[in-house]
Amino acid sequence: MQTCADPSKVHAQILSESKLFSSASTNFASRPNSQATYFDVSLPGTLPVLNRKCVVDAIKTGLALNCIISNKSTFDRKHYFYGDMPNGYQITQQRNPIARDGYIEFIVHDDFYENDQTFQPYLKRCRLKQIQLEQDSGKSLVDDELNVNLIDLNRAGVPLLEFVFEPDLHSTLEAISLVRELIAILKSIQTCSCRMEEGALRVDANVSVRLADSRELGTRTEIKNLNSFRFIREASEYEIQRQCSLLEIGEKIINETLGYDIRTKSTFVMRDKEIVQDYRFMPEPNLPPIILADDDEGNKELINIDAIRKEMPRLPEHIRANLLDRKFNLSLREIYFLIQSPTILSLFYQIFESSQRKCGLDCFNFIVGYLKPIFQDKIDPFTLNKIESIDSRFSMETILEFVCQEYLTELCDMIFDEKISETTAYDILKLYLQNEQRSPSEIVEKYNWWLIRDIDQIEQVCRQVIQQVPKIAKKYAKNGVRKQKSMLIQKAFVLMNNQVNEKMLWDTNDNRTQSCRAGDEKIKQLEKRVTEMESKPAAVAKSSVVLDVKPWDDETDMKEVERLVRTIQMDGLVWAKLAPLAYGIKKLQIVCVIEDEKVSVEELSEKIGEFEDHVQSVDVAAFNKI
């Protein structure tokens, strides 16, 4: 089966201090009904007055989305009766919208699984049927205890841009990526705050499923008012699965308008669209057409499309096109990351232009590999104490505001010219944040942190590592497990004061260079040592371990905890058949025997800790060699 999940309509509140047809404020979270004029509450005799800024913002948005801007657009009345729509109709632009026939191009990228390197981002284009100006409705709050509907008209009349998209998308991921790109565009031209948590941007998603051999779209359902990426994803995926299940048993899909229940993570029917609803569209008699000029010689009192076009800022699609230039050598995944943050993007350009290497990939790896981790630690730049309440990206952008760009450029070149190690770069940056006045090269010279290139010295350290941790070396030589490799490398880093990089220690590429001879020699040493150890019969070292497994509370079923613990099977692990030493007194105390070379207490404790619904912590109560 093939699916179609489109953000059929997106409603974005225009960033305006006053409403579309009245002078009332648009401030969020004000006292109920404190921001409504006589027109907003629909008192007889009141007339709409069009907000000029909203028209300008609509034109800017249309230009940013490659639309044709209408020189003449009109307003219509869309009739429906809700308590939060006191007029009994909404003023919109159904027939002659202000912008039409546009498109949006975006990178399809999965932020939910950003560490999944198997997913390859790709470019996608979706057609935009029209953009129309309209007024928002008020809010209704149902009070079940009092059996009343409470109405707040603060939002009534807030200016909206409604985006109507064509059904060009085929997955939930594409729909989410489109909305992300739309948000980036609206923020770049400053026409919408895009705060989804405040309802400033809301999505109506269309979902339809068709058989793979069918050319026609299946019956669609519309999910209303999704105000987060997670809800768009969950609601669309649930609805796709629901429709597939119905089609598999031969049921018919009904054209319905649905809501999404975040508690049950399922959709529910709001109204049936099989019965066509007549909105009785009619021209708005109290508003004249919007007439626009498209050249400088026109009426100076009219809003000029060309003048607005000349003042348009640089858009995400222009930035993306620039970054796709061969000189940067960046993939779509890397470009997507840079575009998400104007601060990081600006830093990338600055480092690239001033760097001697002129390698876009190196500059990107420097920002992501060396700058981002230090800020993800959430370190206060003034005290170097960790900050637990600040978002990592926010802290990074804040700190970058006062970090000298020339300093970072020099640091970047030193790393990729292999003059210093990655860890040394981290230490230099921390010194800089402690108001160290010296340049990176001066700091390295002072502390003698230059990268060690003496192959004989590196080989000697590698031999010391093998002698210190022979069990880990043997395991890696035998199985090639990455975890053991990392442990060996970390040991070498400590012995060499971090003055060596991983490539010099251990290069497993087929085209090894002479500078990586240390890695080859180490592998040979490991293989030789393994052969010697395996040729000699050795006694199996065992240990008896008593573990304290503590639950979250006294109500936890301790028998279930014991059952879960005993399900863990490992080579070299034997659970005692005896009854638990302590049982039902806020912990399970259980005995096992392990073979030291096959099972570590730490690894066993981690496996028990994976039963996180039942287990709070695991402690070693006793450990005796047998």
Segment holding 333, helix H or strand E? helix 332-339
- Residues 564 and 537: beta-carbon distance below 8 Å: no
CA Rg, the chain, in Å?
A: 32
Q: How confident is the model at residue 6 (pLDDT cuts 50, 70, 90)?
A: low
Q: How far apart are CA 391 and CA 400, in angstroms?
A: 14
Residue 374 confidence (pLDDT): 60
Residue 390 confidence (pLDDT): 35
Q: How confident is the model at residue 474 (pLDDT cuts 50, 70, 90)?
A: confident
Query: Is residue 377 assigned to a domain?
Result: yes
Write the DSSP assignment of 475-508 as a string of letters: HHHHH--HHHHHHHHHHHHHHTTT-S-HHHH---
More confident residue, 560 or 385: 560
The dihedrals phi and psi of 230, each to the nearest 5 degrees, come to -65, -40
Residue 535 confidence (pLDDT): 57
Query: For residue 373, what are the domain limits?
Result: 341-447
Q: How confident is the model at residue 378 (pLDDT cuts 50, 70, 90)?
A: very low
Q: How many structural domains is the chain composed of?
A: 4
Mean residue pLDDT of the chain comes to 82
More confident residue, 526 or 608: 608
Residues 6+ positions from 10 with CB-CB distance below 8 Å = 162, 163, 165, 179, 182, 201, 202, 203, 204
Residue 385 confidence (pLDDT): 42
E-only strand ranges, 14-75: 68-69, 72-73
Query: What are the C-alpha distances in Å from 361 to residues 116, 326, 330, 501?
Result: 19, 11, 6, 19
- Is it the case that residue 273 has pLDDT exceeding 80? no
> Are 164 and 228 members of one domain?
yes
Q: How far apart are CA 127 and CA 102, in angstroms?
A: 6
> Are 27 and 59 members of one domain?
yes
- Is it the case that residue 375 has pLDDT exceeding 70? no
Residue 536 confidence (pLDDT): 54
Q: How far apart are CA 49 and CA 37, in angstroms?
A: 12
Residue-wise pLDDT for 561-615, tens only, equals 888 888 888 888 888 765 554 444 567 888 888 887 888 888 888 888 888 778 8
Give the end of a domain, one of 233, 248, 282.
282
Residue-wise pLDDT for 16-49, tens only, equals 999 999 999 999 989 999 999 999 999 999 999 9
Q: How confident is the model at residue 79 (pLDDT cuts 50, 70, 90)?
A: very high
> Are 531 and 589 members of one domain?
no
Cα 455 from chain centre: 43
Q: How far apart are CA 267 and CA 234, in angstroms?
A: 10
Query: Is residue 265 assigned to a domain?
Result: yes
Q: How confident is the model at residue 511 (pLDDT cuts 50, 70, 90)?
A: very low
> Are 531 and 491 members of one domain?
yes
Q: How far apart are CA 504 and CA 518, in angstroms?
A: 7
- Is it the case that residue 395 has pLDDT exceeding 70? no
Residue 384 confidence (pLDDT): 41
Give the end of a domain, one of 258, 282, 306.
282
Query: Is residue 473 assigned to a domain?
Result: yes
Residue 519 confidence (pLDDT): 52
More confident residue, 396 or 506: 506
Q: Rounded to the nearest 5 degrees, what angle is found at the Cα of 412, between the Cα atoms of 363 and 442?
A: 165
- Is it the case that residue 78 has pLDDT exceeding 80? yes
- Is it the case that residue 220 has pLDDT exceeding 70? yes
> Are 521 and 546 members of one domain?
no
- Residues 551 and 587: beta-carbon distance below 8 Å: yes
Range among 318-332, 361-375, 491-505 rated most confident: 318-332
Residue 518 confidence (pLDDT): 47
Residue located via tokens 């978002």: 391
Give the end of a domain, one of 264, 282, 300.
282
Q: How confident is the model at residue 398 (pLDDT cuts 50, 70, 90)?
A: low
Residues 227-234 have a mean pLDDT of 91
Q: How confident is the model at residue 116 (pLDDT cuts 50, 70, 90)?
A: low
- Is it the case that residue 434 has pLDDT exceeding 80? no
> Are 228 and 83 members of one domain?
yes
> Are 437 and 573 members of one domain?
no
Residue-wise pLDDT for 178-209, tens only, equals 999 999 999 999 999 999 999 999 999 989 88
> Are 397 and 472 members of one domain?
no
More confident residue, 612 or 243: 243
> Are 192 and 232 members of one domain?
yes
- Residues 266 and 247: beta-carbon distance below 8 Å: no
Which of 184, 110, 104 lies closest to 333 in space, CA to CA? 110
Beta pairing partners, 291:
72
Residue located via tokens 């498209």: 294
Which of 419, 400, 402, 399 lies closest to 356 in space, CA to CA? 419
Query: Is residue 305 assigned to a domain?
Result: no
Q: How far apart are CA 593 and CA 546, in angstroms?
A: 9
State what percent of residues in the chain have pLDDT above 90: 35
Query: Is residue 301 assigned to a domain?
Result: no
Range among 4-8, 95-99, 229-233, 325-329 rated most confident: 95-99
Residues 6+ positions from 463 with CB-CB distance below 8 Å = 522, 525
Residue 523 confidence (pLDDT): 55
> Are 145 and 129 members of one domain?
yes
- Residues 154 and 114: beta-carbon distance below 8 Å: no
> Are 215 and 86 members of one domain?
yes
Residue-wise pLDDT for 277-335, tens only, equals 778 999 999 999 999 998 766 677 899 999 999 999 999 999 999 999 888 989 898 89
- Is it the case that residue 484 has pLDDT exceeding 80? no
Residues 6+ positions from 479 with CB-CB distance below 8 Å = none
Residue 382 confidence (pLDDT): 37
> Which has the minimum average pLDDT: 1-10, 117-126, 252-261, 603-612?
1-10
Q: Is the pTM of this model over 0.75?
A: no
- Please report, as a single letter, which amino acid is at residue 13: Q
Query: Is residue 367 assigned to a domain?
Result: yes
Query: Is residue 333 assigned to a domain?
Result: no
Furthest-apart CA atoms within the chain: distance in Å: 102
Residues 6+ positions from 76 with CB-CB distance below 8 Å = 91, 92, 93, 94, 95, 281, 282, 283, 284
Residue 366 confidence (pLDDT): 83
Query: Is residue 582 assigned to a domain?
Result: yes
> Are 104 and 154 members of one domain?
yes
Is 281 strand, coil or helix? coil
Range among 95-109, 362-376, 487-501 rated most confident: 95-109
